[in-house]
Structure 1
Amino acid sequence: MTTVKDIDVRGRQHCETTALGVLLRHQGLDLSEPMLFGLGSGLSFIYWDSKNMGFPFLGGRAKPFDLTRNLATTLGLDLLVQETTSPRRAWANVVAAIDADRPVGLQLDSYYLDYFGSKVHFGGHVVAMYGYDDHDAYLVDTDQQGGAVSTSLTSLAQARAARGPMTAKHRSFTLTAPRNLPSPQGQIIPAITACADAFLNPPIANLGHRGVEKAGKLVRTWLQRTDNPQRDLPQAALLMEKAGTGGALFRNLYRDFLAECTQLLDSSQLRTGHELYNEAATLWTEVAALITNAGESGDEQYLVRAGAALCDLSRIEREAMQALSCLGSERAFM
């Protein structure tokens, strides 16, 4: 068995920030999960529906791997990404990193992993790998999936080779921190304002605050959108609360990031943003509960209430991001 020495295998709530935490702690940089999420400008929103989808999807974060790219740029980290169509070369890339005593991040389809109890295809799943032997790969996944886990080399190869929405071609990556790493505190304002600007100025109506407003209008039709509302509506709500989101469709993570920032920066705009995201996080969890109730009861009134709450959320999050987008012009200090 070959493993990276002195590896910290703590799992966290979200898959990509869990993997990033493993890679960065091995580089001597130990940041909280909300801080990783926030510095990676991870918060977003998408209402995603198409003819070939069984049911609409509500997403609350940046596209898979954008968070990693953003974080590397923000912190000045060297991000080495390798992709290939060759399974043999893909395995050689991973082995080379681990043999060099470096954990490696992998993007793959969680459906094929042995330890996943819920067999749903998700090609944007990210794990950290820190060891292997003749039969198994040793990974770090979220706390929900078991933290330090193992899966057969066969299943890992299938997961990495998968094709479909959000998949990548055997993507693996490593992070290297420079010797004179600048303080993450100095990068907080650029990360927040970049996230706010993207949320406030979405290119299409399905994204950002416009997407939340659109969801508020369309969620009312969800009982007619499916032949099996008792299955599809509670599952959509479960994905919002439990599928590695940290609860409230990632709003809990962003709320906690802003709370951590208020301890580092003295800013009225930052405090306003935090207060509004505290309100938004509570309301997102209420929306998930209303969607669940609608599916279980078949009562459309729950969706009417969920739609009204989503329209409120569009306003609340827009106001929060407007305040946060002004951070660059406000004098913030310790």
Structure 2
Amino acid sequence: MTMVKDIDVRGMQHCETTALGVLLRHEGLDLSEPMLFGLGSGLSFVYWDSKAMGFPFLGGRVKPFELTRNLAAVLGLQLVVEETASPRKAWQNAAAPIDAGRPVGLQLDSYHLDYFSTKVHFGGHIVAMYGYDEQDAYLVDTDPQGGAVSTSLAGLARARAERGPMTAKHRSFTIAAPSNLTSPRDRIIPAIKTCADAFLNPPIANLGHRGIEKTAKHVPKWLQRSDNPREDLPRAALLMEKAGTGGALFRNLYRDFLAECAESIDSSHLRTGHSLYTEAAALWTQVAALIATAGESGDAKNLVQAGSILHELSRIEHDAMRTLSML
């Protein structure tokens, strides 16, 4: 059995920040999950629908692995990323850092992991690996998935080889922190401004505040959009609240990040942004509940109400990000 020594196997709410936490704590940098999410400029919004999809998807964060790249750039971390089409080379890329005493991050499809409680294909899932033996790999996943877990090497190989939406070619990565690491506190304002700018100026109408506004127009018609609303709508609500989002489609995490920032930076813009995101987070949880109720009851008035709250959310989040962009 090969194990990285002195590993802190704490699971968090979201997969990518959980993996980053494991890798960074091993480098001597212990940041809260909201701080990891915020410094990685992780908050976003996407409304995704196409003819090929059974039902629309609402996303609350930047695309998989972008948060890791953002965080490494903003803190000046050395991020080494390996990708390959070869399963044999992929295993070497994962095992070599562990043999050298360093945990490794992996992007894979959660469907094939033995311990995963809900079997759905999600190719943007990220875990930290800290050990292996002849049968199993030892991983850290989110707290809801069990934190420190293990999966068969065969299942891990299938998860890493899967192709489809959001997958990467056997992606593995390591992080090293330089001895003269930039103070995370000094990078808070640039990270917030990066996030705000992307949210306020989306390149297409599906993203940012425009995406929320677009969702507000489409949600009232969701009973007709689905072949099986009793299943599709509650599932959409569950993804917003429970699927590694920290609740309220990642808005709880960003609210808590802004609160943590306000403890060390005295700024009225920051305090206003925090109070607006506190309001937005509560409203997103309401929207999810209304969508679930609409699916269970078949009553469209819940969706009309969700639509009107989403109009309001587009405005609140636009105001919040405009204020934060002035930091």
- With the length of structure 2 as denominator, give the TM-score of the two structures: 1.00
- Give runs of aligned pairs for residues 234-249 of structure 1, distance below 5 A: 234-249=234-249
Partner Cα separation in structure 2 for residue 227 and residue 322 of structure 1: 39
Q: Residue 5 of structure 2 corresponds to which residue in structure 1?
A: 5
Displacement of 1:9 after TM fit?
A: 0.2
Secondary structure class of the residue paired with 1:145: coil
Q: Give CA deviations for 1:241-281 in whole Å, capped at 9, x if unaligned.
A: 00000000000000000000000100000000000000000
Partner Cα separation in structure 1 for residue 6 and residue 118 of structure 2: 31
Displacement of 1:227 after TM fit?
A: 1.4
Partner Cα separation in structure 1 for residue 269 and residue 67 of structure 2: 24
Displacement of 1:117 after TM fit?
A: 1.4
Partner Cα separation in structure 1 for residue 183 and residue 78 of structure 2: 16
Secondary structure class of the residue paired with 1:321: helix
Counterpart check, 1:214 vs 2:217: no
Structure 1 alignment gaps of length 5 or more: 328-334
Counterpart check, 1:254 vs 2:254: yes
> Which AA in structure 2 matches 1:27?
E
Secondary structure class of the residue paired with 2:144: helix
Partner Cα separation in structure 1 for residue 193 and residue 264 of structure 2: 16
Q: Give CA deviations for 1:106-143 in whole Å, capped at 9, x if unaligned.
A: 00000000001111000000000000000000000000
Q: Residue 166 of structure 1 corresponds to which residue in structure 2?
A: 166
Counterpart check, 1:72 vs 2:86: no
Q: Residue 49 of structure 1 corresponds to which residue in structure 2?
A: 49
Further displaced range: 14-23 or 177-186: 177-186
- Give runs of aligned pairs for residues 156-305 of structure 1, distance below 5 A: 156-305=156-305
Partner Cα separation in structure 2 for residue 264 and residue 56 of structure 1: 40
Partner Cα separation in structure 2 for residue 135 and residue 325 of structure 1: 50
Q: Residue 332 of structure 1 corresponds to which residue in structure 2?
A: none
> Which AA in structure 2 matches 1:151?
T
CA RMSD for the aligned pairs?
0.3
Counterpart check, 1:60 vs 2:60: yes
Structure 2 alignment gaps of length 5 or more: none
Secondary structure class of the residue paired with 2:264: coil
List, as ranges, runs of 4+ consecutive aligned residues in structure 1 with deviation greater than 3 Å.
none
Q: Residue 122 of structure 1 corresponds to which residue in structure 2?
A: 122
Displacement of 1:208 after TM fit?
A: 0.1
Secondary structure class of the residue paired with 2:84: coil
Displacement of 1:3 after TM fit?
A: 0.4
Q: Residue 33 of structure 2 corresponds to which residue in structure 1?
A: 33
Counterpart check, 1:99 vs 2:99: yes
Secondary structure class of the residue paired with 1:44: strand
Displacement of 1:182 after TM fit?
A: 1.5
Partner Cα separation in structure 2 for residue 204 and residue 277 of structure 1: 23
